[in-house]
Amino acid sequence: MKSDNRTLEIRSLEKYYSHGEQKIAALDGVSLAVDKGDFVAIMGASGSGKSTLLHLIGGLTNADRGEIIINGTDISGYGDHDLTLFRRNHLGFVFQAYNLMPFLTAEENIKLPLLGKKVTDSQLEKLLDRLGLKDRRHHRPDALSGGEQQRVAIARALITEPDVLLVDEPTGNLDSVAEEDICQLLRQLCDEQQCTIAMVTHEPAVAFAADRVHVLSDGKIVDSFATSECDNEAELAVKYQQIVHQQKQLTKTR
Ligand SMILES: Nc1ncnc2c1ncn2[C@@H]1O[C@H](COP(=O)(O)OP(=O)(O)OP(=O)(O)O)[C@@H](O)[C@H]1O
């Protein structure tokens, strides 16, 4: 059923890579729907296709088949120029490596995606305040902790008010305290500001912040479940491992 609230819809997405004679299906018919304000986590073993999926949603590579519809716009047929414009206006990215400009302050980094466009002072203040960066705004990245650098990266992704925030292993370089802090922040952004988030992670503790987990295996979504089915991250880890194990058994018997 189509929801009017749907921010992201992926239909039968396929992506192949060639290794010599061999053709590898990185994505093999992935379909997914995310409503406004929903937070989904995409989990899966190494090589299951997580990054490929996020890169396709983000218009960083093209699909071989299928559709990617973001707020009603199908970007799957777009060329490089249109994809660049679409990314700039509609998507926000947060990566494991914060990718901040080392010679710019936190505030200058946050304003980078605006490309000179004005942001109102109150908009910027609100964002700095929300991300707990007010007293760090004039610091350069090397004077910030890992968690603070990731907060700056999140603020930079949010400054253009994107339709979807695409997040790739956001806590991979952080200790457990900073990890929890970033997870809480992402959760609150959904609850309070109706941010729509698609996040790739292999960490059950990080996935627990989401509303729903989709499990990828060999380029297919093989299962998905609401995180509310799990009382805590340990239960989520067990549930995820069971799905992965079941999938391995199925592959063996094929
Ligand atoms: N540029 C590429 N050229 C060739 N093959 C690729 C390329 N990118 C990914 N692949 C292959 O596609 C499959 C999916 O890769 P992908 O990086 O999406 O997996 P992943 O789940 O993100 O893995 P990881 O958790 O290790 O980052 C793998 O078999 C990988 O080797």
In the predicted model, what is the mean pLDDT of the chain?
92
pLDDT of residue 251: 80
How many helices and strands in the chain, by DSSP H and E?
8, 10
**If you count them, how many residues does the chain have?**
254
Q: What is the separation of C-alpha 154 from the centre of its chain, rounded to a whole number of angstroms?
A: 11
Token pair for residue 31? 């379909």
pLDDT of residue 3: 61
CA 193, CA 177: separation in Å to the nearest integer?
24
Token pair for residue 100? 């901040």
Per-residue pLDDT of 22-51, as tens digits, reads 999 999 999 999 999 999 999 999 999 999
- For the CA of 53, the closest atom of ligand 1 is 18
Distance 10 CA to ligand 1 centre (A): 19
Per-residue pLDDT of 133-162, as tens digits, reads 999 999 999 999 999 999 999 999 999 889
CA 26, CA 50: separation in Å to the nearest integer?
9
Identify the residue whose C-alpha is closest to ligand 1 atom 24. 46
Q: Is the CB of 28 under 6 A from ligand 1?
A: no
Angle separating helix axes 146-158 and 176-193, nearest 10 degrees: 20
Give me the residues paired with residue 157 across strands.
none
Distance 52 CA to ligand 1 centre (A): 6
Whether residue 1 is predicted with pLDDT greater than 70 in this model: the reply is no
CA 154, CA 92: separation in Å to the nearest integer?
8
| Average pLDDT for 54-74 | 93
Per-residue pLDDT of 72-125, as tens digits, reads 999 988 999 999 999 998 999 999 898 999 999 999 999 998 877 777 778 889
Q: Is the CB of 24 under 6 A from ligand 1?
A: yes
Q: Is the CB of 66 under 6 A from ligand 1?
A: no
The CATH class that applies to domain 6-97+162-253 reads alpha beta
Which of 223, 221, 251, 219 lies closest to 14, judged by CA? 219
pLDDT of residue 249: 86
Per-residue pLDDT of 162-200, as tens digits, reads 999 999 999 988 889 899 999 999 999 999 888 999 999
Q: What is the separation of C-alpha 37 from the centre of its chain, rounded to a whole number of angstroms?
A: 13
Q: How far is CA 63 from CA 2, 43, 50, 156, in A?
A: 23, 20, 14, 27
Whether residue 222 is predicted with pLDDT greater than 70 in this model: the reply is yes
Q: What is the ipTM of this complex?
A: 0.96
pTM: 0.92
